[in-house]
Amino acid sequence: MALCLSPGGCPYDEDEEIAVFESTAAEHGGPSRPRLPEISVISPGLDTRPSIIEPKLAAKPAAVRQGSSGDGSSEKVQVFLRIRPLTDTERGRGEEQGCVAVQDEETLMLKAPKESQNMRTAERGVTQSIHKFSFSKIFGPETTQQHFYECTMKKMVKDVLQGENRLLYTYGVTNSGKTYTIQGKIFSGLLPRALVSLFRKLQGRLYGAMDLKPVMYQDVRQLDAGEVRVEEIRRNSLLKEDENQSSRRVGTTTIWDSGIGGLSCTSNIATQLEETDSVCLEPDSLSHSVGDNLEEGVQFSIWVSFYEIYNEFLYDLLDASPALQPRKRATLRLSDDRQGNPYVKDLTWIQVRSAEEAWKILRAGRRNQSFASTQLNQNSSRSHSIFSIRVLHVRPEAAMHISELTVCDLAGSERCKEQHNGERMKEANNINTSLLTLGRCIAALRHNQNNKSRPPQVVPFRDSKLTRVLQGFFCGRGTSCMVVNINPCASIYDETLQALKFSAIATQVRDNAVVLYIEICDLKIHRSILACRYKTNNKQCPSHHFSWSMVHPQRPECLIRSPNSVHVHTVVIFVMLLLQCLKIVECSRCELNPFFQERDQEIEALSAALDTRRETDSVPVPVPQGDSEGPRRSRRITSNSEANRLRSELDQCRAELLTKTHELIKLKMQLEVPGSTGTLTTAADRKLEEGQRNLRQLRMDLQRLGAGLQSGERACCRNTGGERLRQALTAADETLAKQDQTLLELQNGLMLVKADLRRKAETLAQTQALCPQLPPSGSDTSTTASCKRRGCGAAAPSDTENRPPQKRPFYQSLFPSCTPTRKYNTRAVEDANITPYSRILRSRQQSPPRSPAPTPRSLRGKY
Ligand SMILES: Nc1ncnc2c1ncn2[C@@H]1O[C@H](COP(=O)(O)OP(=O)(O)OP(=O)(O)O)[C@@H](O)[C@H]1O
């Protein structure tokens, strides 16, 4: 079976996919491949035939409208689509190519423009160029803020006042109008309207509007009295800061110098809304009417919080103003409450007493929010911002109830490659990743809800901060509503298509708890045990978090509902384990029952015998009057022996009873401690031992491998040229040492020869002195010549000139540094003798000194 990739990024089976993308189920490849239909239908049950695209919204018959029929479709998550109008600049750029067309108030048709990637793939026959999507309701470009509020959020406000939890989030590509929808350009969006409506409905029902009681805070978050005071100071500073903001009036609108358009803080929001809206506000939403169907005697208190998820970090936007606080922003942590629901730890919750106050708080928070100018949007949200309104229902002498309305303005998905700034690219990356996780969660929820016969998928709520904070709303703690914003520009058609594909999955999700069915075979015997165990466990597992019940007596199965899929899996494992334990306990109890009964009977019999004896003992022995000593003594002896016998019998019985009691206690203890626990502990010990053994084995293997590696390295080194070179160098070193030795010997020989010569010269001089009469001419010349030839002392000054030229190199080579000439010559000889081998020798640092013998310099100094 082929696997398709969902828009959310997770694979799912083709037959599941078929309901969503009918046309994509066609086979791919091969000449006989059937032609793809022209339209891809992104909702089950829609007509695939292309119809004429109506420019205006056409009403659909009420019977087929989602949520209006009684077929259970009302449970489905509501997904609204809002199309923003094109600006004049965009029209001038030629962005209006009719690629987005509304067929009726629930159906949208997308037609790929020529330059889009979708059109290119469609031309290759891979995808379709026309797509059809269905929504709960579609709002065209001409829709006013007021109309949009009436159709989407108005009911949510009512539900929250009835004690329900509601979430509204906007999803779409960047610059598609998400922030505009929630806040409005001049604060006319959903949120201010909701605040105004809420406070109007609660007029006269606000609990202790000026009375900040710690108990109230403690219900929202665990604060002590000191912290409450800090909160109050923070609240006042936020409100004051808003008043200090410089603003300039443009017509009826107040434009704030910070660049954020807004309402005048001193004016009434409702009046401002009425002024700025072209359409008259619906009387019910903003009129002074007290809310309908509010519980009698209940008072309300309103609290707000505002935080953002920026680059996967949570920041409290009400922490302090950026002007007051230049320090690095502190991040918030996510935690789980006792019911397992995630909540933002240490988040600031501020009590508000009017819509104006709430609005000021929101505005103060907005100044801390991360905005930046991007290629597509001058004022683009770089984070997911979450504004929550908590309504405390204060009942006299009854538990307080909290309901919540959360409005989440998601950051827009965008192409990372279009970002030229590193910071923007990082932000885009984080935004896309968290949106992808949201898509995966929604796809997994849909899979679990629509395919009950298949194994459930784990919903990856924990993969991103965004999905974790919204988790409760997807798992039964409340209901969610999605607003998809799109921009009809042709240049971002591909991104818009992806966003719509994601929303198509969301339309198929139901506002239900995650439901898992666990098949447990052979539950007949254990049903009663299960029921009794449930009662005992109920204290630890509150019913709204973890509950089970028998669904069908013939097909025993356990229904588990939990808001957290991770918990569900833990619970499943726990249930299986518990059932095993119970089964073992029950079996052992059945086996032991007859034995117990027997023992009980024996004990009863013994107790009865004992009682009888006691009674007999207590009967007073009649004392005979006026009898003789003998029979009295004999009677005493008889009664004494009888008493002794009875006493010993009693002791015996007591001992037996004690033994039996001990046995009973032992058996009871065996019964109370589930056998499986012991088995489990033993099994765990065994596993531990086995693990340790494995670890030891692994360590030994590692040591062995290390040794092998070392020997391998050695072998490797031996086999390489490096080792050979080292050997050659050692041999060369030895040769060199030998040569040095020979040189030394030669020098010694030379010294001897020179000494001999000197002696001979002296002898010759003496001889000459003794024989002055010898003829000076002829023979004199010859003697001098012969003397000179021998290099004797008298001829020394002219020795250099008279020396035969061929002798010089020999002496110079022996005394290389005696004269500059010699030095030069030695260098020349060395240079002449340079070979690659000698160069290596010189460069080697490890080489031993050239000659261990005394240096020739000492000799040179002498001669
Ligand atoms: N329905 C509308 N009518 C008139 N103008 C609109 C509408 N929707 C959006 N706009 C305008 O389009 C521009 C972009 O809107 P906005 O900033 O709300 O987009 P966004 O989706 O929040 O973008 P990002 O994700 O980048 O923050 C704004 O100038 C806004 O005024």
What ipTM does the predicted assembly reach? 0.98
Q: Report, as ranges of residue numbers, the positions in the chain whose pLDDT lies below 50.
A: 1-74, 209-210, 246-267, 277-291, 513-566, 623-628, 673-677, 774, 776-811, 813-832, 834-837, 840-841, 843-863
Distance from C-alpha of 789 to C-alpha of 714, rounded to nearest angstrom: 64
CA of 81 to the centre of ligand 1 (A): 14
In a domain, 593, yes or no: yes
Domain of residue 823: give its range.
809-838
For ligand 1, whether the C-beta of 321 sits within 6 Å is: no
In a domain, 832, yes or no: yes
Pairing of strands 247-250, 39-42: unpaired
In the sheet where 107-111 sits, what is the strand order?
Answer: 39-42, 130-134, 107-111, 100-104
391 — phi, psi (to 5°)? -110, 120
119 — phi, psi (to 5°)? -65, -40
Write the single-letter amino acid at 752.
L
For ligand 1, whether the C-beta of 456 sits within 6 Å is: no
Contact residues for 37 (Cβ-Cβ < 8 A; gap 6+): 22, 23, 26, 48, 128
CA of 184 to the centre of ligand 1 (A): 9
- Pick from 84, 384, 487 the residue to mutate for probing ligand 1's pocket: most ligand atoms within 8 Å of its CB: 84
Q: List beta partners, residue 40.
A: 131
Of the residues 598, 622, 651, the one at which a domain ends: 598
In the sheet where 253-256 sits, what is the strand order?
Answer: 247-250, 253-256, 261-262
Distance from C-alpha of 63 to C-alpha of 46, rounded to nearest angstrom: 14
CA of 485 to the centre of ligand 1 (A): 9
Chain center to CA of 135 = 32
CA of 217 to the centre of ligand 1 (A): 36
Distances (CA, A) of 296 to 31, 163, 291, 293, 303: 72, 13, 11, 8, 21
Write the single-letter amino acid at 825.
N
Whose structure tokens read 């002496």?
Answer: 811
For ligand 1, whether the C-beta of 384 sits within 6 Å is: no
- Pick from 100, 144, 175, 410 the residue to mutate for probing ligand 1's pocket: most ligand atoms within 8 Å of its CB: 175
For ligand 1, whether the C-beta of 488 sits within 6 Å is: no
For ligand 1, whether the C-beta of 147 sits within 6 Å is: no
Write the single-letter amino acid at 78.
Q
Write the single-letter amino acid at 769.
A
In a domain, 576, yes or no: yes
Query: Residue 634: what pLDDT?
Result: 55
Which ligand 1 atom minimizes the distance to the CA of 409?
A: 22
Encoding tokens for residue 183? 């806040």
Distance from C-alpha of 99 to C-alpha of 650, rounded to nearest angstrom: 104
Distance from C-alpha of 493 to C-alpha of 117, rounded to nearest angstrom: 9
Q: How many CB atoms are closer than 10 A to CB 617?
A: 11
Which ligand 1 atom minimizes the distance to the CA of 376?
A: 26
Query: Residue 482: what pLDDT?
Result: 92
Q: How many CB atoms are closer than 10 A to CB 680?
A: 14
CA of 423 to the centre of ligand 1 (A): 22
Query: Residue 114: what pLDDT?
Result: 84
CA of 511 to the centre of ligand 1 (A): 29
In a domain, 552, yes or no: yes
CA of 739 to the centre of ligand 1 (A): 93
CA of 159 to the centre of ligand 1 (A): 28
Q: Do residues 118 and 494 lie in contact, with contact meaning Cβ atoms separated by under 8 Å?
A: yes
For 759, left (φ over 0), alpha (ψ -120 to 50), or beta? Answer: alpha
Work out the angle between the directed axes of helices 269-276 and 190-201 (0-180°, nearest 10): 130
CA of 177 to the centre of ligand 1 (A): 3
Distance from C-alpha of 543 to C-alpha of 516, rounded to nearest angstrom: 16
Binding residues for ATP are: 172-179
Q: List beta partners, residue 248.
A: 255
CA of 379 to the centre of ligand 1 (A): 9
CA of 324 to the centre of ligand 1 (A): 30
For residue 529, give the H/E element and its range: helix 527-537
For ligand 1, whether the C-beta of 145 sits within 6 Å is: no
- Pick from 179, 418, 424, 435 the residue to mutate for probing ligand 1's pocket: most ligand atoms within 8 Å of its CB: 179
In a domain, 136, yes or no: no
Distance from C-alpha of 124 to C-alpha of 542, rounded to nearest angstrom: 57
Which ligand 1 atom minimizes the distance to the CA of 371?
A: 27
Distance from C-alpha of 350 to C-alpha of 729, rounded to nearest angstrom: 84
Q: Give, rounded to a whole angstrom, the gap between the first and last alpha carbons of the chain.
A: 101
Q: List beta partners, residue 76.
A: 510
For ligand 1, whether the C-beta of 411 sits within 6 Å is: yes
Report which of 752, 743, 777, 772 is spatially closest to residue 852, judged by C-alpha positions.
743
Write the single-letter amino acid at 80.
F
In a domain, 573, yes or no: yes
Report which of 475, 230, 167, 462 is spatially closest to residue 334, judged by C-alpha positions.
462
> What DSSP character marks residue 265?
T
Distance from C-alpha of 284 to C-alpha of 262, rounded to nearest angstrom: 24
- Closest C-alpha residue for ligand 1 atom 11: 177
Distances (CA, A) of 840 to 731, 832, 843: 13, 16, 5
For residue 753, give the H/E element and its range: helix 721-770
In a domain, 430, yes or no: no
> What DSSP character marks residue 673?
S
346 — phi, psi (to 5°)? 60, 25
For ligand 1, whether the C-beta of 382 sits within 6 Å is: no
Report CA torsion sign: 147, 153, 154, 155: positive
- Closest C-alpha residue for ligand 1 atom 8: 177
Q: DSSP of 759-777, one letter per residue?
A: HHHHHHHHHHHH-TTS-SS
Of the residues 577, 598, 619, the one at which a domain ends: 598
For ligand 1, whether the C-beta of 381 sits within 6 Å is: yes
- Per the structure, the count of domains in the chain is 2
For ligand 1, whether the C-beta of 412 sits within 6 Å is: yes
Q: Is residue 243 classed as helix, strand or coil in its secondary structure?
A: helix
In a domain, 536, yes or no: yes
Assessment of whether the complete model's pTM goes beyond 0.95: no
CA of 180 to the centre of ligand 1 (A): 5
Report which of 502, 499, 477, 197 is spatially closest to residue 359, judged by C-alpha positions.
197
Q: Do residues 214 and 232 lie in contact, with contact meaning Cβ atoms separated by under 8 Å?
A: no
Q: Is residue 560 classed as helix, strand or coil in its secondary structure?
A: strand
- Pick from 87, 377, 378, 434 the residue to mutate for probing ligand 1's pocket: most ligand atoms within 8 Å of its CB: 377
Work out the angle between the directed axes of helices 779-790 and 721-770 (0-180°, nearest 10): 150
Distance from C-alpha of 581 to C-alpha of 457, rounded to nearest angstrom: 28
For residue 384, give the H/E element and its range: strand 384-394
For ligand 1, whether the C-beta of 177 sits within 6 Å is: yes
Q: Do residues 129 and 118 lie in contact, with contact meaning Cβ atoms separated by under 8 Å?
A: yes
Pairing of strands 350-352, 130-134: unpaired
For ligand 1, whether the C-beta of 132 sits within 6 Å is: no
Of the residues 598, 627, 648, the one at which a domain ends: 598
Q: DSSP of 86-153, one letter per residue?
A: PPHHHHHTT---S-EEEEETTEEEEE--TTSHHHHHHHTTSS-SEEEEE-SEEE-TT--HHHHHHHHT
